[in-house]
Amino acid sequence: MDHPFIFRARAGALVLSCLFGVPAFAADPADRILVNAEVLTMDPARPTAAALAIRGTDIAAVGSRADILKLKGPRTEVIDVGGRTVVPGLIDSHIHAIRGGQSFTFESYWYDKTTLADALASLKQEANTRGAGKWVAVTGAWHPDQFDEHRAPTVADLTAQLPDNPAYVQYLYDYALLNAKGIEVLQLDNNGQVPAGVTVERDAQGKATGKLLGGIGPFSALFARIGARSATDYRDSLRAFFSEMNHLGVTGLIDPAAGDRNAFNPLYALWQDKALTVRVGWRASSFQRDNELEWFKTTLAYIPPRSGDDMLRFVGLGESVVGGMNDGVRQAPGFSPPQVARDELFKVATWAAENRYPLEIHAYTDDSANLILNEFEKVAQKTPLNDLRWTITHINTGTAATLDRMRRLGISYSVQMGPYFEAQVIKDTNGQAVAEASPPTRLALDKGMMVAGGTDSTRIGMINVWRAIEYHVTGRSVGGMVQRRADLQLSREEALKLYTANAAWISFDEQRRGAIKPGMLADVAVLDASYLRVPANQIHAIRSVMTLVGGKVVYGATPLRGASSKASAWSSSGEGSRAASGNKEVILKAMAAADHAH
């Protein structure tokens, strides 16, 4: 809007900028302007706008088309987004991206498969592409109830479809299946060894049936062996994974437990090459069972809290802080860790609080969360926790009383999409009422708690953050097996906030990310559908047609109406455009072409 006063002093202009979101003069033109937009800012002072301006890495102004075009200069790139919705870049506050990303191009995914026949056919197609003798694998984020057949594949199914390729199919962290070729390659009938904690089911004759039992650690170790590749493969796969996140509109993440030190090598290689296209926060998770305090003291001796830069930052401890206090993927009540584990958690939490380390800790069940809170409350008697941004994650069966204890300590809640896949198990182990109230996101928000959203991809949840957002809105679990109570659903605005402003808060970035307003980093996504108007059961299909990180285009799937050729490219660094499908092979080819061009 026009103002009758002319402010000659820069200080006066800055005051006006703060008041109205638009600079009073255009002495410094914008580098890029987006117009004809439905901007969902996540800024309570100005929830919506029609245009925005970017200067350098930051948002310069937000407002009407007329106001923002006042910042146009001779070199300003003006992009007409054609009425599309623009949102702050999404932040997945709990995703195992560093580990999962390194196997992204190795794995196959059943996210969109509605029949088991199609799922098996896709695995066969992947095997044909790779050639005989090569492993194929599906390692989670699927459920039998997503298929019309309402059943999981069998070993016989896998053997019939894939006679010449070893195959590994993992169902969450409950069990895994190998076909006949997989049994042969791992030599399970010839004294072949599997990682500790993996149980090989055998028939009456002692032969491996193809079914494996295990858990988070054992299955992770086994898959690391099956999917072993070169350092270059890991790096390129992680890069492709981040690019797929950009296609979803994701510009930031927190990884709560990446793996051992070697798992970080590809990540730091991308960071050193300035090739990261998402902002990565990582947490240190103990890989030493017992005496975890000494492990953290040694490992973090030269890593101060929140060290790093805007693209890669250490954000504290998590999520397996003390192994004995981790209830894994248990859904049933009755978790009772040994006293030595409880004592160790008190020691680690005391040290973390005194040294001001952020912390995230895993608790699948309400029982687990309460046992953790017993120790946190003792720590808080000496060292307040309310400004450390500590969070308890998951709590699928959480109760109002537990949330009250968290709120009093200043502990936030990190929620994911686990119950989307696990609702039936929650129902079987806790009853219908608990399942229909899971997860307790609505309760936490109504208590005024900070709640941040994640996916828990890539084994429990899927990379598609929009599927997680849809689940918060609709409450419908996979296959419709459990429906959350209507009074516990979130509005679309509330669900989006979990993955923008609230997720930024968890990593102390609420003044720089999570909203579209002047002074914030220009992390934005232009969507292919109206988030507020698309049918609720189609939210999962939303994708970004252009994603920017720090003002730089890192994904641009299709030319935008009125956009220059530069704006419609995949990356402003010269990497070419790619298909909107997010297909892994397309991603890799685009990256290879860009690398060759450079």
For residue 97, the model assigns a pLDDT of 97
| pLDDT reading at 584 higher than 80 | no
**Does the domain spanning 231-513 belong to CATH 3.30.70.360?**
no
158-167 mean pLDDT: 98
Q: What is the pLDDT of residues 298-335, one digit of tens each?
A: 999 999 999 999 999 999 999 999 999 999 999 999 99
Over residues 164-204, the pLDDT tens digits come to 999 999 999 999 999 999 999 999 999 999 999 999 999 99
Phi, psi (degrees; rounded to nearest 5) at 59: -70, 125
Q: How many CB atoms lie within 10 A of CB 329?
A: 20
- The pLDDT score that the predictor gives to residue 583 is 52
> Considering only CA atoms, which of 430, 416, 439, 419 is closest in space to residue 488?
439
pLDDT of residue 560: 67
Query: Per CATH, the architecture of 10-89+525-597 is what?
Result: Roll (2.30)
Q: What is the predicted pLDDT for the residue at 240?
A: 98
Q: Where are the domains of the chain?
A: 10-89+525-597, 107-226, 231-513
- pLDDT for 564 beyond 50: no
Q: Are 442 and 487 in contact (CB under 8 A)?
A: yes
Is 507 a residue whose pLDDT tops 50? yes
Determine the pLDDT at residue 288. 85
Pick the CATH number of 107-226 from 3.40.50.150, 3.10.310.70, 3.90.660.10, 3.30.1300.10: 3.10.310.70
pTM: 0.89
Give the whole-angstrom CA distance, residue 530 versus residue 514. Answer: 19
Residue pointed to by tokens 């009250």: 404
Mean pLDDT in residue range 85-108: 97
Q: What is the pLDDT of residue 20?
A: 46
Under the banding of pLDDT at 50, 70 and 90, the label for residue 12 is very low
The more confidently predicted of residues 577 and 435 is 435
CB neighbour list of residue 92: distance below 8 Å, 6 or more residues apart: 245, 250, 252, 253, 254, 453, 454, 455, 457, 465, 499, 503
What pLDDT, on the 0 to 100 scale, is given for residue 258?
84
At 287, is the pLDDT very low, low, confident or very high (cuts 50, 70, 90)?
Answer: confident
- pLDDT band with cut points at 50, 70 and 90 for residue 56: very high
Question: Band of the pLDDT at 27, cuts 50, 70, 90?
Answer: low
Q: What is the dihedral of CA 81, 86, 89, 92, to 10 degrees?
A: -130
- Contacting residues for 206 by C-beta, under 8 A, at least 6 apart: none
Q: Can you tell me the mean pLDDT for 402-427?
A: 97
pLDDT band at 361 (very low <50, low <70, confident <90, very high): very high
Residue keyed to tokens 């190795």: 106
